[in-house]
Amino acid sequence: MGNLDLSFFDWSVIGPFVTKGLIFSLWLTVVATIGGIVLGTFLALMRLSGKPWLDIPAAAYVNTMRSIPLVMVLLWFFLLIPFAIGRPLGAEMSAIITFIAFEAAYFSEIVRAGIQSIPRGQIHAGQAVGMTYGQNMRIVILPQAFRNMLPVFLTQTIILFQDTSLVYAIGAYDMLKGFETAGKNYGRPVEAYLLAAVVYFLMCLALSFAVRKLQQKIQIIR
């Protein structure tokens, strides 16, 4: 294996450094997914409202976020928000705010496509029985749309988990930072980055397999 030190590939060696970062990466993924879906749903409803004063700002927000690299948005929030409010937020809080705001733009497009995939006849049926627009969305349209969108939501969540490694740029202690710290402490940076890549790959591969299984079950239910 050349100059690789296989003794480094031992959880008892790297675990104390990586566990803290792994917990933060997973927590950031969950919080950003939930927050992104909630905010993204509101943005999608604004874009589908048919009212320009709602549609135009929502479209501008979505298109702007989707046109800028995440690492730049991360640096903006990390540097500009503390300047605006007069006090530091910290790397972790900046990461949470950034990821929710950024991922909402992507989740909104997923939600919008999911709502538009529901046959118009169901919308008209809800209107025929006297439902308001809000009731129709809440009771008839969104439950079906979210079921259809679930595999896409989970796929976007996998991408989000991979993107959490970018918080390294603002000094947050994520899983990648944990591997880097372990590598520095033991003088094995090559092994640290190699092992980090393997762990990211295996976790994302397992999640992708689970998404495919879920998609197959949803297709069977249909």
Split at pLDDT 50, 70, 90, the class of 212 is confident
Residue 125 lies in a domain: yes
Alpha-carbon gap, residue 8 to 6, rounded angstroms: 5
Residue 1 lies in a domain: no
Alpha-carbon gap, residue 22 to 29, rounded angstroms: 11
Residue 59 lies in a domain: yes
Lowest mean pLDDT among 55-59, 136-140, 179-183: 136-140
CA 101 to chain centre: 10
Residue 187 lies in a domain: yes
| First-last CA distance in the chain | 50
By C-alpha distance, which of 104, 94, 113 is closest to 38?
Answer: 104
| Number of structural domains in the chain | 1
The pLDDT value given to residue 84: 76
Residue 134 lies in a domain: yes
Residue 216 lies in a domain: yes
Is 139 or 200 the better-scoring residue by pLDDT?
A: 200
206: domain CATH number? 1.10.3720.10
Residue 146 lies in a domain: yes
Alpha-carbon gap, residue 1 to 132, rounded angstroms: 67
pLDDT, one tens digit per residue, over 37-93 is 999 999 999 999 889 999 999 999 999 999 999 999 999 888 888 877 777 788 999
Residue 15 lies in a domain: yes
User: 194 is in which domain, residue-wise?
Assistant: 6-221
